[in-house]
């Protein structure tokens, strides 16, 4: 017993029992919707279909003005996170037909991650040559997904807004051409679509056929100029109404409600949440090692002065807890 009492002071964190209740987070996005619309048409619909889950203690939810809905379901300690995730996904399928079409097209994610943040990392442009959207777009495209695949990481939340094609409609011009926003949306979906071009000399083919080639068609629009040429309507006199005739098209931020700064400098941040069952101190170093090599991929890193700062939310808490317990 004496040896056991002495050894407990050096017991690895991984050997401690899992006492935190597992949580499952359901995330959805309704583009263009306000917080009340998201609450009524998305959040409440999902919540109403989550009844009857095994071991569910309670759930909490948030709906914001950017069109995001997040529902966190907390289960009893000892519940298998994998089984809980499968049950939540099955219940979510029952709610899908009742959700707006735009939400279904965006997709709904179900993550088995802790509701608390383990670590926050800030990416900063030291000399100010990059704006917050440059940094956030790079982080979303090159760092967020690889970091999400790190062992023990449940989810990664981006603090910032990546780039998107912004289309600012002019109501007076729409009325002039007898158009409504839904007409614009439908034409964008039709004309900004990836299609297959087929093949030349594909099977079945003539016996003397010697050429076989795939046709690559560039149908996805890339620039504001290309979007501006989208055909909306052909008038009775044969003249065409293009998107640029009724709207201003530009490359801008996906969401302007978030402003990211670090000591007054342009920045973007990520919050790392642990997967259910992972031990926090054991993954702090792993998460930091996962972000630092990726920053070297940023084009012009040395010239742009992009740097990285870490803040371990739980490090001081755990160190103090172990000292007090000992």
Q: Is 12 a member of any domain?
A: no
pLDDT band for 18, please (50, 70, 90 cuts).
low
Same domain for 262 and 274? yes
Q: Are strands 109-111 and 265-274 parallel, antiparallel or unpaired?
A: unpaired
Same domain for 125 and 264? yes
pLDDT, tens digit, for every residue of 172-203? Answer: 999 999 999 999 999 998 888 877 777 777 77
Structure tokens at 144: 């967020």
Question: What CATH number is given to the structural domain containing 107?
Answer: 3.30.70.1430
Looking at 250, 271, 289, the residue that finishes a domain is 250
Q: Which residues, 6 or more positions from 147, have their beta carbon under 8 angstroms from its beta carbon? A: 153, 156, 270, 272, 287, 290, 291, 294
Among candidates 249, 255, 243, which has minimal Cα distance to 186? 243
Same domain for 98 and 245? no
Q: Is 322 a member of any domain?
A: no
What total of structural domains would you count in the chain?
A: 3
How high is the mean pLDDT of the chain?
81
* Full-model pTM: 0.69
Q: Is 225 helix (H, G, I), strand (E, B) or coil?
A: helix
Q: Is 160 left (phi over 0), alpha (psi -120 to 50) or beta?
A: left
Gap between the terminal Cα atoms of the chain: 17
Same domain for 71 and 92? yes
For the ranges 25-39, 138-152, 299-313, the maximum mean pLDDT occurs at: 25-39
Could you list the residue range(s) of the whole structural domain that residue 273 is in?
118-162+254-312
């Amino acid at each position: 017993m004496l040896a056991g009492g002495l050894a407990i002071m050096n017991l690895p964190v991984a050997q401690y029992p899992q006492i935190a209740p597992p949580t499952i987070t359901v995330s959805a996005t309704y583009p263009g919707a306000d917080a009340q619309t998201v609450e009524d048409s998305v959040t409440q619909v999902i919540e109403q279909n989550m009844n009857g889950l095994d071991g569910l203690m309670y759930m909490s939810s948030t709906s914001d003005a950017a069109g995001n809905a997040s529902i966190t379901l907390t289960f009893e300690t000892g519940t298998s996170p994998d089984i809980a995730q499968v049950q939540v996904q099955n219940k979510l399928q029952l709610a899908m037909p009742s959700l707006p079409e735009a939400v279904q097209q965006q997709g709904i994610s179900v993550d088995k991650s802790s509701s608390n943040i383990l670590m926050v990392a800030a990416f900063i442009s030291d000399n100010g040559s990059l704006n917050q959207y440059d940094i956030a777009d790079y982080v979303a495209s090159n760092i967020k997904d690889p970091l999400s695949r790190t062992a023990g990481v449940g989810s990664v939340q981006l603090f910032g807004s990546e780039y998107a094609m912004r289309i600012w409609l002019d109501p007076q011009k729409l009325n002039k051409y007898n158009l409504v926003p839904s007409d614009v949306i439908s034409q964008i979906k039709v004309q900004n679509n990836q299609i297959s071009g087929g093949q030349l000399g594909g099977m079945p083919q003539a016996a003397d056929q010697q050429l076989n080639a795939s046709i690559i068609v560039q149908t996805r629009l890339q620039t504001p100029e290309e979007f501006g040429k989208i055909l909306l309507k052909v008038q009775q006199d044969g003249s065409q109404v293009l998107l640029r005739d009724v709207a201003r098209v530009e490359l801008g931020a996906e969401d302007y409600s978030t402003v990211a700064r670090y000591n007054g400098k342009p920045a973007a941040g990520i919050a790392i949440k642990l997967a259910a069952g992972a031990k926090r101190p054991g993954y702090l170093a792993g998460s930091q090692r996962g972000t630092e090599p990726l920053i070297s991929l940023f084009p012009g890193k040395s010239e742009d002065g992009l740097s990285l700062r870490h803040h371990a939310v739980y490090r001081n808490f755990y160190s103090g807890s172990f000292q007090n317990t000992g």
